[in-house]
């Protein structure tokens, strides 16, 4: 029987820590500020944005939301980013992805001031993560590391498998485990002998985007299993990339879906925005 890693509890602890730091900064006359830009009316994006707004209120941040119509042009969006880059009250800028198809998300990300890029998607911040000299980490991989730390799970010397190679989760996740002296394999949908590779892993991070992809026969006894997936099963029920019913009896630790990695993403966004505010007064 695996121990369930409670993402809600760990995220609450992170937000509490951020709130205490925020109160200390406010006493110095600095209120961390986050601007969230959403284009169009994607329902999932709207839920995320609302949750981010609530988290800002909870920790005491100044927050601004810019809800732009679906037909917003690239030029209009870049003009708004320019304005937020120059705004001293705003320390973090987040453009909610995905953008409508006529907009170029890469150009938008490249336009954000790297010092305000609290998603850590800008090429400059990605490069800093590669060499281990970063201010911000992408929120989901940072949340995974926080979950491992919360249970004192040692990464050093462990065999780690990351299933998934996205720029948002898979690649930075592998780098963070490497920085903690894990021995890391990045696997993906075209990996041969994936089952054998996973069976050799002490820590598995599943971020492949396929419901219940990781089965019990792919996991060795005592492995730590982190499920980054957010999928729907054949009955429309929320599930992850891990077949929880099969894997949980074999793992030593496992994250549930929902209530595992999900709550951590917004908590780490708050942490990144706090870091940006501290950096703005050379406190980072």
CA dist 55 and 36 (Å) reads: 12
CA dist 264 and 3 (Å) reads: 18
Phi-psi region of 94 (alpha: psi -120 to 50; beta: other; left: phi over 0): beta
The residues annotated as belonging to the active site are 52, 96, 119
Alpha helices in 60-150 (DSSP H): 74-86, 105-111, 123-131, 139-150
CA dist 73 and 154 (Å) reads: 47
Give just the sign of the alpha carbon dihedral 120, 125, 126, 130: negative
Nearest residue to 49 (alpha-carbon basis) of 60, 38, 33: 38
């Amino acid at each position: 029987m695996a121990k369930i890693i409670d993402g809600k509890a760990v995220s609450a602890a992170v937000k509490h820590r951020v709130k205490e730091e925020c109160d200390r900064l406010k006493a110095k006359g600095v209120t961390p500020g986050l601007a969230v830009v959403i284009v169009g009316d994607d329902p999932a994006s709207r839920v995320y944005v609302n949750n981010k707004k609530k988290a800002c209120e909870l920790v005491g941040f100044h927050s601004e939301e810019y809800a732009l119509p679906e037909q917003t042009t690239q030029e209009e969006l870049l003009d708004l980013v320019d304005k937020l880059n120059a705004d001293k009250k705003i320390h973090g800028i987040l453009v909610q992805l995905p953008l409508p198809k006529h907009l170029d998300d890469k150009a938008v990300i490249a336009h954000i001031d790297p010092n305000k890029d609290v998603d850590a998607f800008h090429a400059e911040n990605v490069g800093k993560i590669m060499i281990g000299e970063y201010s911000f980490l992408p929120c989901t991989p940072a949340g995974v590391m926080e979950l491992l730390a919360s249970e004192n799970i040692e990464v050093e010397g462990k065999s780690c498998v990351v299933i998934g190679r996205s720029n948002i989760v898979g690649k930075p996740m592998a780098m963070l485990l490497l920085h903690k002296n894990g021995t890391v394999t990045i696997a993906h949908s075209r990996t041969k002998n994936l089952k054998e590779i996973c069976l050799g892993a002490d820590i598995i991070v599943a971020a492949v985007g396929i419901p219940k992809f990781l089965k019990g026969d792919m996991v060795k006894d005592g492995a730590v299993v982190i499920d980054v997936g957010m999928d729907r099963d054949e009955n429309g029920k929320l599930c992850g990339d891990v077949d929880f019913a099969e894997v949980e009896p074999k793992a030593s630790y496992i994250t549930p879906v929902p209530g595992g990695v999900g709550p951590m993403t917004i908590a780490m966004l708050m942490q990144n925005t706090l870091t940006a505010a501290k950096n703005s007064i050379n406190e980072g």
